[in-house]
Amino acid sequence: MGRLFGTDGVRGVANADLTAELALGLSVAAAHVLGEAGSFEGHRPVAVVGRDPRASGEFLEAAVVAGLASAGVDVLRVGVLPTPAVAYLTGALGADLGVMLSASHNAMPDNGIKFLARGGHKLDDALEDRIESVYEEHRTGAPWDRPTGAGVGRVKSYDEGLDQYVAHLVGVLPNRLEGLKIVLDEAHGAAARVSPEAFTRAGAEIVTIGAEPDGLNINDGCGSTHLDLLKAAVVEHGAHFGIAHDGDADRCLAVDHTGSEVDGDQIMAVLAIALRERGVLRQDTLVATVMSNLGLKLAMEREGITLVQTAVGDRYVLENMKEHGFALGGEQSGHVIALDHATTGDGTLTGLLLAARVAQTGRSLQELASVMERLPQVLINVPDVDKSRVGTSVPLASAVSDAEAELGSTGRVLLRPSGTEPLVRVMVEAADIEQARSVAGRLADAVKSALG
């Protein structure tokens, strides 16, 4: 079988790829592996379990809770909360692990399981591999060592989590948000209660859309993957700007007062300058991935801020930040990590920090974001191809080489397999949009031909 864990936990169609049996088995395996690693040394282990509002999260949560409790782990069920809230509470409550059930920005039929280590940090690859191998070993016959009697885990709801998390978010802001009118698009997702509460407590006047999750409508035509509703609402309500989250609210994109998109690169540019002014952008460095627009690098150079680029995936951004002690990093998708206040990307926190900068400067988001000029960038997702052969196909390498020669120093090409879906992403940047489209179209055709 292929590796279960992708770049962001285990993900797939709920009740087809991601079954109750798999969720239960992985949870038992995670408890055993973390116990072996010494995480539970000398005390009774505790896990925080949360989910987004997907209908399938209800039965998957039940399976995860059953698996953990059967392995002797006490469980605190925090209910529907954003991924970063589960990470925060895992750390704040001194829990031994956290589990989040969400497929983030994916469509409703998908779901996922993300395990978090003590402190609310993502598990490293070695631990994930170990969990997978232990799960597989026991799935094929080796019996688990199961506690009985008083040794089984106890399960209880922890309803204070939302207030605790919101208080944390509002408490880390450098200034309040009075005078701002902001539209919030919650993607009918995990932040539908958290985000409006946090912005209101911080002093903003808010208008909410996409804040009525029913288990089936998550990410459906709204949120950070579908910005049209937010753009229209910002203009209609005469708001200063709008904020959009994805299903599990670890991302944030924005829309300025004219209805124009402000992407993750621009948000990082604005926040990097704000943190540097406050003297908290450690080593005057921002961490982003190779998917970030060339315009971000040019803007940071002009501002005297170093841009470090990593492989694609927030885990690689986070690893680099932790290794070198950097304070800010993220992805163009709006997954922004403010490491002084969060252990993972936090869309609500990102939106609040962006709003705080607008309130503090008195300048519009459009003006603040104009520090960075986005070079034309075309991204094409090529589905139904063998993404494992991206790095080994000779014809594809030749096509990439030809494209790079054509673009010269005025642009760049990036091909990468998706970490969560069966597709290859083709990204082309160029000084001219028509050239970018032309080159990207030819490369997409080459991917289909070589890997189809």
Q: Is the distance from CB of 213 to CB of 273 less than 8 angstroms? A: no
Q: Which residues are annotated as a binding site?
A: 104, 246, 248, 250
State the residue for tokens 């808010």. Answer: 206
| Catalytic annotation present for 104 | yes
Cβ proximity of 347 and 252 under 8 Å: yes
Backbone phi and psi for residue 418, each to the nearest 5 degrees, phi listed first: -65, 140
**What six digits make up the tokens of 218?**
């998550």
308-344 as b/e, with b when 16 or more CB fall inside 10 Å?
A: ebbebbbbbbbbbbeeeebbbbbbbbbbbbbbebbbb
SS3 (DSSP) at 384: coil
- The C-alpha atoms of residue 325 and residue 304 are separated, in whole angstroms, by 18
Q: Which of 238, 130, 129 is nearest to 182 (CA)?
A: 238
3-state secondary structure at position 382: strand
* 88-to-83, 121, 322, 331 alpha-carbon distances in Å: 9, 9, 17, 20
Q: Is the dihedral of CA 441, 443, 444, 450 positive or negative?
A: positive
d(CA 395, CA 142): 45
Backbone angles phi, psi at 15, to 5 degrees: 75, 5
Residue 121 CB neighbours (<10 A) = 16
Instruction: Write out the H or E segment, with its range, that includes residue 369.
Output: helix 365-369
CB 14 within 8 A of CB 56: yes
Residue from 27, 56, 102, 104 carrying the catalytic annotation: 104
Cα–Cα nearest to 240, from 361, 127, 100: 361
Residues annotated within the binding site for Mg(2+) are: 104, 246, 248, 250
Give catalytic residues, as residue numbers.
104
